[in-house]
Amino acid sequence: MEHETPILSIIIPVYRVEDCIVRALDSVYSQGLEDSLFEVVAVDDGSPDRSVEIMESYRAGHTNLVLLRKSNGGVSSARNLALDAARGRWVIFLDADDALAPGALREFFSKARRFGGAEILMMQEVYARNGSEKYSWQGLAEDFHSYSGPELFRRGYFRSTVTGLVIRRDFIERCGARFDERVAMGEDSTFIHSLLPYARSIMVWKRVLYLIYMRDGSASRTFTRERLAACRYNLQAALELAGKVRAEVPESLPLVEFYRYSILLHYMKLSIEYRVAGALRIFREMLPEGYLPVGIENVPRERWKIRVMDKSLAAFYFLLKIQNCLKGKRVG
């Protein structure tokens, strides 16, 4: 008999996570929900360890766990395959080394009518070790109020990950959003910024949904010369997105321009933190033609830094190095 269409699809990429995948799955299946209400779409991205064996064992007790297999192509290709297969009205992205907060999904379903018109439901994302928020909107937005993407940005809110969100799948499809498979690091940022400029109804709810577990050796915890050079694809994707938004929803352009600035700032800070040799030369070589200057009209944050960056990449880079040095002295 064909299964009922689930309300929620939970997407989990699987690669070298044999030590933590059970925690992620347990966090989903301990929510106290009927299996018919949701599906888990897990994608084996060619994992060479016991991750798939563990998933197969877990799937034996849960018919709503869908396990897709593919050769290794990165988290973006895994998430895209899962999006193509997902059937739920809403989508949640869960990394296999993180977890969902206890009872969060049960509360989501109990309040589902309040979120009916929202394209994105924004819930809290916290570090499991100390409970601190990753993206706080305290003082910027109110519970169960609806905001557009540009409006939240004008209020001072900015985020760069897809975790901690519940997103309407038809909205994702309407935006034509997919993860950029050229991008090996920071793929969340490009994806969320292909949605936010078009969002007319983002609802916030100060309920913890997502628990972040810091894991040594994960992609977000390492940065090398090769990784820096590969970031050219992130910058190219950001530039392409700016062109698309400029043509389709120009009122959202300040949000994307700030994203273009912030992504370059992020990679410069990482190259300084990890002491990447020749980083400034790599930046000059990998910046797409037309990436600078970044527009600052109607951008409410860090305008003077953007001006410095637009005028001189070298001055901006060395300013960050000085800031990093002073920060180290204060900590010491």
Share of the chain above pLDDT 90, in %: 87
- Quick one: pLDDT at residue 159? 92
Q: Stretch 257-271: mean pLDDT, rounded?
A: 96
- Quick one: pLDDT at residue 219? 46
- Quick one: pLDDT at residue 324? 86
- HEC profile of the chain: CCCCCCCEEEEEEECCCCCCHHHHHHHHHCCCCCHHHEEEEEEEECCCCCHHHHHHHHHCCCCCEEEEEECCCCHHHHHHHHHHHCCCCEEEECCCCCEECCCHHHHHHHCHHHHCCCCEEEEEEEECCCCCECCCCCCCCCCCCEECHHHHHHCCCCCCCCCCEEEEHHHHHHHCCCCCCCCCCCHHHHHHCCCHHHCCCEEEEEEEEEEECCCCCCHHHCCCHHHHHHCHHHHHHHHHHHHHHHHHCHHHHHHHHHHHHHHHHHHHHHHHHCCCCCHHHHHHHHCCCCCCCCCCCCCCCCHHHHHHHHHCHHHHHHHHHHHHHHHHHHHC
pTM score above 0.85: yes
- Quick one: pLDDT at residue 329? 58
- Quick one: pLDDT at residue 1? 33
For the chain, the average pLDDT equals 93
Query: How far apart, in whole angstroms, are the C-alpha atoms of residue 86 and residue 307?
Result: 43
pLDDT in tens, 278-313: 999 999 999 999 999 999 999 989 999 999 999 999
| Residue 311 CB contacts under 8 Å (≥ 6 apart), including other chains | none
Q: Stretch 157-183: mean pLDDT, rounded?
A: 95
Q: Which of 2-6, 222-226, 289-293 has the lowest mean pLDDT?
A: 2-6
Taking only Cα atoms into account, the Rg of the chain, rounded to an integer number of angstroms, comes to: 20
Please give the residue that has the higher pLDDT: either 67 or 2: 67
> Would the pLDDT of 218 be above 80?
no
> Would the pLDDT of 232 be above 80?
yes
- Quick one: pLDDT at residue 327? 76
